[in-house]
């Protein structure tokens, strides 16, 4: 799930330029910390939603929020909220799936569809319900971090 935090006031490009002028300790770490705190709000709601539909509890116990290092830059932080390796099937629960019977022959799936499991969304509703709260938490965390750094100077 992707979430974009929008700041009111200067344009995003102006903010990005200003962040590039700040020391490294402010930009990368502050953005990561703030974004993770915002994502934690959504993660907690996703855990609640997954517990409602649980069968074994594995999915609810394996929902993480972690920084996507490949997409994160000093002026932009990306966080992924979703299941880990144990809860890999969370996508199947979220979107539903076909029930396929039959084996594989020479690498080609020769199975036939005998039914469908209806979707039971747990992650998307968490993001929809907690998006504004997550944005507020992220902005507040970033403001607190910047105030601490500015006081030191």
pLDDT digits (tens, 9 = 90+) for 64-119: 999 998 988 877 889 999 999 999 999 999 999 998 887 666 666 677 888 999 99
How high does pLDDT run on average in the chain? 84
pLDDT > 70? residue 12: no
Of the two residues 146 and 47, the one the predictor is more confident about is: 47
- Over residues 112-140, the mean pLDDT reads 94
> What pLDDT is attached to residue 19?
66
Under DSSP, the state recorded for 68 is: -
> What pLDDT is attached to residue 96?
95
Q: What dihedral angle (degrees, nearest 10) is formed by the CA atoms of 35, 79, 20, 140?
A: -10
Site of tokens 């509890």: 57
> What pLDDT is attached to residue 4?
61
Q: Which two tokens stand for residue 85?
A: 């390796």
> What pLDDT is attached to residue 123?
96
Counted residue by residue, the chain has a size of: 153
Rounded alpha-carbon distances, angstroms, from residue 81 to 47, 60, 89, 115: 11, 12, 14, 30
| Rounded CA separation 63/69 (Å) | 18
């Amino acid at each position: 799930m992707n979430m974009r935090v929008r700041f009111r006031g200067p344009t995003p490009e102006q903010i990005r330029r200003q962040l590039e002028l700040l020391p490294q300790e402010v930009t990368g770490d502050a953005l990561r910390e703030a974004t993770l705190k915002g994502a934690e709000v959504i993660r907690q709601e996703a855990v609640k939603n997954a517990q409602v539909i649980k069968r074994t509890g594995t999915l609810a116990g394996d929902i993480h929020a972690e920084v996507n290092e490949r997409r994160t830059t000093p002026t932009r932080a990306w966080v992924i909220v979703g299941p880990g390796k144990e809860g890999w099937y969370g996508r199947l629960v979220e979107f539903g799936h076909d029930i396929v019977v039959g084996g594989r022959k020479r690498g080609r799936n020769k199975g036939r569809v005998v039914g469908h499991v209806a979707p039971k969304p747990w992650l998307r509703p968490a993001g929809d319900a907690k998006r504004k709260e997550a944005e507020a938490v992220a902005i507040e965390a970033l403001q607190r971090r910047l105030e601490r750094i500015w006081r030191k100077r």
